[in-house]
Amino acid sequence: MSDYNLTADGYGMTSALNARTAADAIRQREFDLALLDINLPDGNGFEMCKLIKPQHPDTIVIFLTANDQESDQIRGYEAGAVDYITKPFVIGALQRKIKAMFTMLKHHRPAKDIYDDGRLFLDFPEQTASLNGKPLTLSPMEYKMLNLFRKNPRQVLTRGQLLEKL
């Protein structure tokens, strides 16, 4: 039911009915939002959340589950979720909550063209870089190449494509 409503709201959806399928999907692409249940046939949502967050720290994780124990809720937040919703839930409220989270995320994204994963920091307009807080010296061409790779994640770029775009 939530798949249909979220698709109708214009969100692209990828459904996974078990942890293995979800893990495969996460390895293949990055998601803006993950709705997780705790009770999966071959695993649990807590472990899935712990898999998502290190690889994709900007992915919003919301638990949608029948588990209403306080200890599970705390565990969900500790795993990296931004919300924990127990079933039954009101679909309209979920839709508005997701919309609000994306609006907040849009306002908190840096206006500058930067990359920062906590270890590597690249400011493309200023052409400054650091690794673990230590400054790096890069040429203008290296900044262009890194920016191109950043904008084409998980894609193999041929020599011809690199020459064309640089």
The confidence score (pLDDT) of residue 57 equals: 86
CA separation for the pair 161, 102 (Å, rounded): 33
All domains of the chain in start order, with CATH: 2-108 (3.40.50.2300), 114-165 (1.10.10.10)
All residue ranges of the chain with pLDDT < 50 are none
Per DSSP, the residues of 26-76 read HHH---SEEEE-SEETTEEHHHHHHHHHHH-TT-EEEEEES---HHHHHHH
The amino acid that residue 75 corresponds to is R
**Helices 70-79 and 45-55 meet at what angle, rounded to 10?**
20
Strand, coil or helix: 137: coil
* No. of helices (H) and no. of strands (E), the chain: 7, 9
**Dihedral-angle region of residue 5 (phi above 0 means left; psi in -120 to 50 means alpha; beta otherwise):** alpha
The confidence score (pLDDT) of residue 109 equals: 59
Place of tokens 């063209």: 113
The pTM (predicted TM-score) of the whole model is 0.63
The confidence score (pLDDT) of residue 64 equals: 94
Place of tokens 């290190």: 54
The confidence score (pLDDT) of residue 78 equals: 96
Percent of the chain with pLDDT over 70: 94
The confidence score (pLDDT) of residue 140 equals: 87
